[in-house]
Structure 1
């Protein structure tokens, strides 16, 4: 079992992207906005919507909700806004180039809709130290010749790239799509240093928490309003008792930070990969050398 605390991406780190930040016009303090008008503030990479008419001189980035409402990140910055369901969208491919200021060894993707993803790392001199392409398709339904020709291949929503040597001063290049994808999209890109907490055990559980609204009228007819959902994973894992203090320290340091948790990069098809927060951590320690832990993680929507 692994945890990946996220790299804190800054404006200076993101050196380039083929996604332009022009979702709407930039906010202008001298313009009068009508109810429903939208603007962007590039300084905080957010989109705001006016909630009143005759809206002049009210800075949306400092407004208390009287004049503006924050409706989300700009398209370029959506993969880094801690919201999986609100995807960044492109055409052909989506590219990012990031100048690293601290070490990373793992890059993860959530909410993917693309044919493939390529991760490349260049050293300070431009030499390639990592270059890997993964197909973003779930072909697990194909089990014989019949299903080879008839099965629908679903997109793979999560991918993990590990064993990367991304040192400070190196460049991380990400390409989502093969250049011909009609509408590549990604919900979140999370990268950082992976920490091994222990060995994932049988009995690890996966599920979802659905936020759809279901109502029934007096005649028993059901109506459903579809909404988002959060992934749930209950990790069962073992670890050496003499590493308990380390495990506790890593988890406590990230108690208020959404992180990536996964069973193992080799078994991503099991669905035990989640980006979110863990619940309270309490483990009975064993003097026999190996302790058994349980950790509930609730994913972001």
Structure 2
């Protein structure tokens, strides 16, 4: 198995040129309006949602507020697919569409937190469509017997990774997330350059990490507070020693960014894929040839 990381490119108003999701979650902030405590507004400059913390809130711009008048809630629905979080999903009835024009070479895309029957990726060079692929999101990995084949229901994959398409600077990439008859969702989209780091050594570890907590009610009874879960992936890579600097440069490039990682090759992924960040990386060097590089990644909720 080969281990890959997608170095994410920024997606701002420059790159995102169209979407069928309107940015109308709440009224746009108006300097002349007076807001009561709990009222919500959006800013189409920051693409964020804000909630008023006080009554008679007038003339205080959320963008320059120090937290006295406004609480930042989240990205707007249209921009949640690019806010470095998976659980805060963008939603739209039937389908979601995004059109992105890369400002750097972009040959890979990863979509997380999906609710979709199909995902379609198109690439346009001017008026010419040069790439067009659709992917059915039904996950047959949940079929483990004849019974589950006939009666287990349809299970849909929650993520999709694709690389090798011609997303060069100036091309338009159209993304369609289709859930006809239901609500389409996507938690986060990573677009950027694919990087192969090395070969995965045997016995990587994928650890389930629960963030739920035990609490107590007013009578001292135990209650469980569900807070979701993440995964910790601990693996070692075989890398030609002369490529050690290249690997370290890639790790430094994605530091602090929501990054897509996955394995490629003929073997199953074994759960070694997700949206996360590099938590630890060391490079003991074997000058004779191949070096073994330990790598720890943690996924994002």
Shorter-chain TM-score: what band?
Answer: over 0.9
Deviations 1:21-48 (A, max 9, x none): 0000000011000000000000110000
CA distance in 2, matches of 1:217, 1:76: 38
CA shift for structure 1 position 101 = 2.0
Report how many residues are paired: 299
Change (3 A) 1:100 1:253: closer
CA distance in 2, matches of 1:143, 1:257: 36
Match of 1:270 in 2: 270
CA distance in 1, matches of 2:38, 2:265: 45
Partners of 1:106 and 1:192 within 8 A in 2: yes
Partners of 1:85 and 1:228 within 8 A in 2: no
Change (3 A) 1:198 1:168: same
SS in 2 for 1:40: strand
CA distance in 2, matches of 1:157, 1:205: 21
Partners of 2:84 and 2:257 within 8 A in 1: no
Match of 2:293 in 1: 293
CA shift for structure 1 position 219 = 10
Partners of 1:5 and 1:258 within 8 A in 2: no
Match of 1:85 in 2: 87
CA shift for structure 1 position 216 = 6.0
CA distance in 2, matches of 1:286, 1:218: 59
Q: Which moved more, 1:223-232 or 1:33-42?
A: 223-232
CA distance in 2, matches of 1:169, 1:239: 33
Partners of 2:8 and 2:254 within 8 A in 1: no
The equivalences for 1:1-301 within 5 A come to 1-124=3-126, 126-178=127-179, 180-215=180-215, 222-264=222-264, 269-301=269-301
Partners of 2:244 and 2:283 within 8 A in 1: no
Change (3 A) 1:216 1:168: same
Partners of 1:93 and 1:181 within 8 A in 2: no
CA distance in 2, matches of 1:190, 1:137: 21
CA shift for structure 1 position 155 = 2.3
Deviations 1:232-287 (A, max 9, x none): 21132211111111111211232232321212276675221122221232122223
Q: Unpaired runs of 5+ in structure 1?
A: none
SS in 1 for 2:174: strand
Q: Unpaired runs of 5+ in structure 2?
A: none
- Normalised to the residue count of structure 2, the TM-score between the two structures is 0.93
Q: Which moved more, 1:56-65 or 1:284-293?
A: 284-293
SS in 2 for 1:193: strand
CA distance in 1, matches of 2:115, 2:270: 19
Change (3 A) 1:157 1:6: same
CA shift for structure 1 position 89 = 0.5
Report the RMSD for the aligned CA atoms in angstroms: 2.0
CA shift for structure 1 position 135 = 1.8
Partners of 2:114 and 2:158 within 8 A in 1: yes
Change (3 A) 1:265 1:275: farther
CA distance in 2, matches of 1:169, 1:211: 42
